[in-house]
A and B are shown apart, each in its own frame.
Chain A
């Protein structure tokens, strides 16, 4: 079974995030890492391909520059290859523009299953995978907390407001996975070495048959007009527990007439 995992390379979330003062889009320069939430999809893809007894995991990603350090992490985990849509024309793409590019790239891999995270850590719009599914004419199951494949179908436990639904869907399909769906493996030393020589197919927007005007900032039909500091909460009182911390909480709750 061939699985495509959509992955995103993002600036290290541990580093302070910044917005470009001109375009008011996230600054995504310098070294990019694999989005933590994508590691679950990569692991899920590897496990499903192993269980199916054959097939491979192909990564699909896009970036305005040719950055591959995040992809190498996922290749080191065991993905076979990557398709990276790399084009300056992609800068400033909105979610639908991103979905258009990913859909075209995914078509090249002809997968049985497309996996993605429920949302990225840096932009968290959370609509791209479903837009990809619609553009490809595929069914989708979002917010999967358990995934298995058998008899040409994917079986998912899908999170709901009140609990979860058991959902079944014929392949090919798009499934988004929540963090925690599986425990991502750490790349082994052998994996890291092997990843250096795994193929990363770099394609441009034109290679995919898309016009530059359909993607990137020129294709985006939304803009950020302003960014301002949020109203701050008044600083509260911080006390160190000397065995009486609970009394302070009780007094606070009494004051609020909660008890």
Chain B
């Protein structure tokens, strides 16, 4: 049976759909014949045009969740729709903090497994094949579901290019959240947004990242200065985020952000698998590291074997005097 209906979990930020949502909607159009979205928050009516343009005919609006964490209520609303007769063949979920919560809860609720860390999808006969990077992206595994639908895939950011279509605004259908019992008890008391200057990390054309080779939190300033000079964003490896040198929002990698800039400059980063999955899709990679055997050099287009404390300050001076 060919794939008919594809659902996309649509996330919004700063008043519009997230870039990963747009990527998934685009991919959904090529997988199935009907695309529908599931969204939550107070602003769903405001994104109905954008959802429609990217191919969704209907958006199921779970509504404003107030201070509740979205995972449990959104999954319960989706499960209720499915139990009520809706039959999505495929559900695409962005690999975000909330997306993974929704996918896990939905999976247990309707008793279907989930395939995560998807970086590619294709329809072959009756199957949907998913691609996954393994062992730091050196190998690609292909997987498929063998049980009943819906097939739930959690997809990594930047796996597909977003392309608008020409659909009319999605029809907004309100859906109720069933009684959650204890599962809905987690409440958000306060939201903290870290201040950001310059472009967003996952949208920047240039990303400059620092790792443990910097030697200390005080040396991260030169990463930020270099990023600013190149009108780019400053990133970090998990090691220095875990060490508390830099906030988590700067993390590039498996548990952080996936970036695919024109140029990625890795400073004092050895290239752990964890990090490489998040940046190896960059169009050009420059690595500066004093260890000539660092794995990062195996994927670098230009590698400088040298001390970041010498190379980076000189690079900053050179860029300042560059016209």
* CB pair A164 B255 closer than 8 Å: no
Contact residues of B between 180 and 219, Cβ < 8 Å to A? 181-194, 205-206
Write out, one digit per residue, whether chain B residues 247-289 have a CB within 8 A of any chain A CB (1) or not (0).
1110000110000001101000000000000001000111010
Q: Is the interface of B mostly helix, strand, loop or mixed?
A: mixed
Judge whether A119 and B113 touch: CB under 8 Å.
no
B319 CB to nearest A CB, Å: 7
Q: How many contacts between A and B, using CB within 8 angstroms?
A: 264
Contact B206 A161 (CB under 8 A): no
- Residues of B contacting A234 in the complex (Cβ-Cβ under 8 angstroms): 301
B91 at the interface (CB under 8 A from A): no
Taking the complex as formed, is A118 at the interface, i.e. its CB lies under 8 A from any CB of chain B?
yes
Give CA–CA (A158, B188) in the complex, Å: 9
In the complex, A236 has a CB within 8 A of chain B: yes
Write out, one digit per residue, whether chain A residues 88-130 have a CB within 8 A of any chain B CB (1) or not (0).
0000001111010000000000000000001100001111111
Instruction: Judge whether B72 is part of the interface by a CB distance below 8 angstroms.
Output: yes
CA distance A247 to B263 in the complex (A): 16
> Looking across the interface, which residue of chain B has its beta carbon closest to that of A247?
B318
Q: Kindly name the residue among B247, B288, B302, B307 whose own CB sees the greatest number of chain A CB atoms within 10 A.
A: B302
A134–B193 CA distance with the chains assembled, in angstroms? 29
B115 close to chain A: CB less than 8 A: yes
Q: CB of B238 within 8 A of chain A?
A: yes
A15 surroundings in chain B (CB, below 8 A):
none
Establish whether residues B117 and A250, one from each chain, have CB atoms under 8 Å apart when the complex forms. Answer: no
Chain B, residue nearest A242 (CB) = B306
Which of B144, B191, B317, B319 has most chain A Cβ within 10 Å? B191
B305 at the interface (CB under 8 A from A): yes
Residue of A nearest to B283 (CB): A256
A223 touches B143 (CB 8 A): yes
Question: Bound complex: CA of A240 vs CA of B107, how far in Å?
Answer: 51
- Contact status A225-B186, CB under 8 Å: no
A125 adjacent to B116 (CB under 8 Å) = yes
B311 close to A (CB within 8 Å)? yes
On whether the beta carbons of A239 and B318 are closer than 8 Å, the reply is: no
**Knowing A160-B97, A161-B96, A241-B307 touch, does A236 contact B141 (C-beta < 8 A)?**
no
Q: Which of B27-35, B43-51, B98-106, B170-178 contacts A (4 or more CB under 8 A)?
A: B98-106
Q: Is the CB of B146 within 8 A of A163?
A: no
A-B contact pairs, 19 of them (CB 8 A): A96-B113, A130-B105, A134-B72, A134-B104, A137-B181, A140-B72, A162-B193, A163-B192, A163-B249, A164-B248, A179-B242, A180-B244, A222-B143, A222-B145, A237-B301, A237-B303, A249-B311, A253-B263, A256-B262
Chain A's interface: helix, strand, loop or mixed, by majority?
A: mixed
Contact with A along B229-254 (1 / 0, CB 8 A): 01000000010011110011100001
Q: Which 10 A-B pairs have the closest CB atoms?
A: A241-B306, A221-B147, A130-B104, A180-B242, A134-B108, A127-B104, A238-B303, A236-B301, A246-B315, A246-B314
Q: Does any Cβ of A come within 8 Å of B1's Cβ?
A: no
B272 closest partner in A (C-beta)? A13
Does B182 contact A137, Cβ atoms closer than 8 Å?
A: yes
Q: Which residues of A contact B (CB under 8 A)?
A: 17, 19, 24, 94-97, 99, 118-119, 124-131, 133-135, 137-143, 145, 158-170, 173, 178-180, 220-230, 232-241, 243, 245-250, 252-253, 256, 258-259
Take A140-B186, A250-B318 as given contacts and tell me if A259 and B230 are in contact as well, using a CB distance cutoff of 8 Å: yes
- Report the separation of the CA atoms of residues A227 and B306 in the bound assembly, to the nearest whole angstrom: 36
- How distant is the Cα of A134 from the Cα of B111 in the complex, in angstroms? 11
Contact A142 B101 (CB under 8 A): yes
**Nearest-Cβ distance from residue B65 to partner chain A, whole angstroms:** 13
Residues of A within 8 A of B248 (CB): 145, 159, 164, 178
- Give B152's nearest chain A residue, CB to CB: A127
Within the complex, the shortest CB–CB distance from A218 to chain B, in Å, comes to 11
Chain A residue numbers with a CB within 8 Å of B307 are: 241
Contacts of B286 in A (CB 8 A): 249, 252
**Residues 297-323 of chain B: 1 if any A CB is under 8 Å from the residue's CB, otherwise 0?**
111111111110011101101110010
CA distance A94 to B242 in the complex (A): 29
Cβ of B42 under 8 Å from chain A: no
Q: Decide if A158 touches B97 in the complex (CB within 8 Å).
A: yes
Q: How far apart sit A119 and B274, CA to CA, in the bound complex (Å)?
A: 12
Q: CA of A118 to CA of B143 in the docked complex: distance in angstroms?
A: 22
CB distance from B249 to the nearest CB of A (A): 6
Contacts A131-B104, A180-B242 aside, 16 further interface pairs with beta carbons under 8 A come to A24-B141, A95-B116, A131-B108, A141-B69, A142-B97, A160-B97, A161-B97, A162-B193, A166-B189, A221-B145, A222-B145, A227-B139, A228-B139, A229-B140, A249-B304, A259-B322
A249 proximity list for chain B (CB < 8 A): 265, 286, 288, 302, 304, 311, 315
Question: CA of A142 to CA of B113 in the docked complex: distance in angstroms?
Answer: 19
Least distance between B28 CB and chain A CB atoms (Å): 20
CA gap between A95 and B13 in the complex, in Å: 29
Pick from B55-63, B82-90, B129-137, B161-169 the stretch touching chain A: B129-137
Given A170-B185, A178-B255: A129 and B303 interface contact (C-beta under 8 Å):
no
Is the Cβ of A134 less than 8 Å from the Cβ of B302? no
- Are B100 and A229 neighbours in the complex by a CB distance under 8 Å? no
B267 to chain A, nearest CB (A): 10
